[in-house]
Each structure stands twice: as C-alpha cells, then as structure tokens.
Structure 1
C-alpha cells in the first residue's frame, strides 16, 4: 500500500544552517517530522486527531547532497506500508529547481490511543485515508 505523496516546499534560511553553511542535520529531521504531521492533519478530522496520536519508533536518514541558503526544497512524504500499529513512512527532499536529491528518510511510526497512550491497530478507516 503506497499512498499518494503529500508535498510541501520550504526555502532554506540562515537559521537552518550549520557551521559549514549547509542545512543542519537536526533541521532535516525536524522537517521529516513536520511534513508527516502536515500530511496527517490534511487527511484527518479533529475527532480522529483527538482520538489517536503517532510516536516515532525509529528514523533512517540518508543525506545525498547539501542544501544551502536560499535553496527552495520540495518535500514529499508517503506511507509505504503498515501492519498492526506500525506504519512505514518515507520522505524525499529535492531541490525544487533541478530535482537534485538532497535527502531520503524512512520512519517507523506507531499509532497510539491518545487517552491511554497505548498502541492500537491502524483501522481500515485510517488506512483508507492514505491509500
């Protein structure tokens, strides 16, 4: 089950840079999490978001090419598959102008019931929102 990619863009600012004048690794990680949240919020109702919450189990990130000040970046994320309470989400970041690959990431998320903070199986309703 690969979902349709959700996309967003971001322009690199000075605050995103490290000492080498490249986007800091921690900033990329934040962007990976931010676009996942935006995707979730774009597909779900307030009621669904008040019932469930996601937590990260792990991230695997590959840095392919450095982004620098004023680069416009295209971010894409999609659900590759899910089983039980776990979901495998992929993220790709490229230079908007050229398509140069900047970063790829794979994140394993776990769905929790928000009140009890206990893992819960991904429902068919939630799965259908992303397929």
Structure 2
C-alpha cells in the first residue's frame, strides 16, 4: 500500500454543546469533527488552484467506536489517505486519540473511514481526481 505524503493533525475539545444524554461526545459530532479535519487538511495541503477548482462531498462514512470522551476532554485527530483515488473518489482515514500533553496517546478511541467524491466547482459534476491533485496527499505513479 502506498505511503501517505501528507497526514494532518487537529485538536478537538468536547464542549457542552457536543455532549449527549449519556455524558459523552454525541455520535453525530464525531462525523462533524471528521469533516472538519478533512476539509482543513485539503485546504492546507492542496495547491490553491485545486482548492479553487474543486469541492469534496462525502459519499460514505464508516465509524468504529472503542471509547469516548466527556465534556472538557480533548482528542487529537489524525487523517491520512493511503490508497490512490478511484475515478472521482478518495478514501480518507481519520483516527481520534486521547490527548496527553498535546500528543496522541494510546490506541485510537474512534476511527473513521470515509469516501469522498470530487466535484468540479464550475460544473457541479463529479470529476476524476487528477494525478497532480492526488500527489499532494499520497505517493502515486502517473
């Protein structure tokens, strides 16, 4: 499997607004955080011309829960892309770790596998992921 060229980390802290009736982060909020890190990774790493030309939409999320956090606790999310794109789609992996001294600690407590489809901004249609777009995130051949 090719190595990611770029992985990206982001810290999230659970405020009262994301806590559910069980006293921990609501399941839907993990998806919001997954989307937040995916978008920020794209905007920080991609060529600005690509950011101007393309959008991404989620086509599927798959989540594994192994733990949770309560109000005031923080997690470090790390995202990466390990497989070359297939047509208009990329698979993105996101792991959430308990935070300790600003670093991920232990095994992921939540893991997300997401499929994202690329859309051309000017047409609103699916677009095959060009190699030059993919190269910012994963080592691929031409």
TM-score by length of 1: 0.93
Q: 5+ residue gaps in structure 1?
A: none
- Contact residue 62 and residue 105 of structure 1 kept, 8 A: yes
Counterparts in 2 of 1:124 and 1:100: CA distance versus 1, 3 Å:
closer
Task: Report the counterpart of residue 53 of structure 2 in structure 1.
Answer: 51
Query: Is residue 111 of structure 1 aligned with residue 113 of structure 2?
Result: no
Q: Which runs of 4+ in 1 moved over 6 A?
A: none
Task: Report the counterpart of residue 122 of structure 1 in structure 2.
Answer: 129
Q: 5+ residue gaps in structure 2?
A: none
* Secondary structure of 1:94's aligned partner: strand
Task: Report the counterpart of residue 93 of structure 2 in structure 1.
Answer: 90
Any idea what the Cα deviations from partners look like across 1:9-46, whole Å, max 9, x if unmatched? 11111111001110001111100000000000001244
**Alignment size in residue pairs:** 131
**In 2, Cα distance between equivalents of 1:9 and 1:105:** 16
* Secondary structure of 2:81's aligned partner: strand
Query: Is residue 19 of structure 1 aligned with residue 27 of structure 2?
Result: no
